[in-house]
Every structure is written in C-alpha cells, then in structure tokens.
C-alpha cells in the first residue's frame, strides 16, 4: 500500500470534523431554544396562576367581609326594635316619674345599647328640615298642600332611620311638605300623625 493511500482515511476524518461540530452546535442551539420556550411557558403559567390566586383571595376576603356585614346588619336591625321601644317608652314617660332612680337606670341601659351599636358603625340619618331624599327617607304622610310639589322637605320625623357603616340600614319614616320657596299662604295640614294625606283613610 502506498503512502498516499494510507493518508486518505486520516484526511477524510479531518475533513468531517467541521461538519460534525456544526451539527452539534445546531443541535445544542435547538435544545436551548426549546428549553427557553418551555421556561417562558412555565413562567407565563406561573404568572397566570399567581394572578388567579390573588383574585381568588381578594374575592374570598370580600365575601367574608360582606358576610360579616350582612350578619351585623341582621342583628342590628333586630336590636333597633328594642332601641325603638326604649325611645317610645321614655317619650311617653310622665315628667314626674323621670326622677326615679330605677327609671334613670333603665334609661342608662338604653343609652348603653345605643352606644354599643354606635361603636359597631351605627349612625342616625338626619331628617327633620332636610330635603326629601327617597334613598334616606320613607314618606308615609304628606301635608295637604304638598300635592304636586316639585320639591319636598321633611316636616316631621316619625321613626328614626339609621346607617350601618356606609349603607342605609333603615330609612327614616317621615312626613313631607312643600319646600319653603314653594309654600303658599294657604293653611297647611297638621304636623302630627293625625295629619294624614287624602289617600289615607281616617276614623
């Protein structure tokens, strides 16, 4: 065998080396691109999962808050009936009995109940002399000359209304009349509960 023939395999191996290295580089680059694509996909999925979790947590916290407020509203509404009874009882109490110690004690119990409800976010709704607001007031009586009036005011508070936090828990029951700028010289209806409107039957 000649020396030229013996050198041919080595030259062939040396000639294949660049092409083999190029193939390895391309394969590695392809694997790197695929790994980056998977990493980006995993990262996007993680971001979506994190956002979904935050939304779920925020929604759950909001539902808990709403549930707590609903429970407070239901209980406070029931306690308002007791508060109303205290208020009516002391309004009808003869003056000569107000100095009795035991009556003062009962009065303080009513005040304590009201203070506890205030600490829980209860606030009274101002009504007397205010412009009539259907979101805050419930008109159950109307002065005779208020028929067809464009603007109404509260002329008498019949039952106090309350807010609990930022929501109306119970609107104030009121009697309404014509606003001052719309008032006429004609006599108005009575200011007490007996001054009913024409649609309300009387005894």
* Any domain includes 53: no
pLDDT of 200 reads: 37
d(CA 156, CA 174): 6
Q: State how many domains the chain has.
A: 1
Q: What is the pLDDT of residues 52-82, one digit of tens each?
A: 888 888 888 888 877 777 788 888 989 999 9
- Kindly state whether residue 116 falls inside one of the protein's structural domains: no
DSSP-derived 3-state class of residue 122: strand
63 domain residue, yes or no: no
Q: Is residue 13 part of a domain?
A: no
Question: pLDDT tier at 142 (50, 70, 90 boundaries)?
Answer: confident
Q: Name 203's Cβ contacts closer than 8 Å, sequence gap at least 6.
A: none
Residue 48 in domain: no
Q: Using one digit for the tens of pLDDT, what is the confidence trace for 148-161?
A: 667 888 888 999 99
**Is 87 part of any domain?**
no
- The answer to whether residue 191 sits within a structural domain is yes
167 occurs within a structural domain:
yes
Domain that holds residue 160: 125-196
**Percentage of the chain lying above the pLDDT 90 cut:** 19
Angle at 194 between CA 188 and CA 200, to 5 degrees: 90
CATH of the domain at 136: 2.30.22.10
pLDDT tops 60 at residue 177: yes
pTM score of the predicted model: 0.56
The whole-angstrom separation of Cα 161 and Cα 133 is: 12
């Amino acid at each position: 065998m000649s020396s030229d023939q013996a050198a041919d395999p080595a030259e062939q191996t040396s000639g294949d080396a660049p092409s083999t290295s190029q193939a390895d580089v391309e394969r590695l680059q392809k694997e790197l691109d695929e790994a980056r694509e998977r990493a980006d996909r995993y990262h996007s999925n993680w971001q979506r999962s994190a956002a979904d979790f935050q939304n779920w947590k925020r929604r759950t916290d909001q539902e808990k808050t709403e549930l707590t407020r609903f429970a407070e509203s239901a209980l406070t509404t029931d306690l308002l009936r007791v508060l109303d009874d205290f208020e009516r009882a002391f309004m009808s109490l003869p003056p000569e009995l107000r100095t009795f110690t035991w009556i003062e004690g009962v009065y303080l119990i009513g005040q304590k109940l009201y203070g506890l409800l205030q600490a829980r976010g209860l606030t009274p709704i101002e009504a007397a002399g205010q412009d009539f607001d259907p979101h805050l007031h419930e008109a159950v009586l109307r002065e005779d000359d208020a028929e067809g009036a464009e603007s109404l005011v509260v002329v008498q508070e019949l039952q106090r209304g309350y807010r609990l936090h930022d929501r109306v828990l119970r609107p104030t029951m009121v009697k309404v009349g014509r606003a001052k700028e719309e008032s006429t010289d004609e006599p108005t209806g009575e200011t007490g509960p007996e001054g009913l409107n024409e649609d309300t039957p009387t005894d």
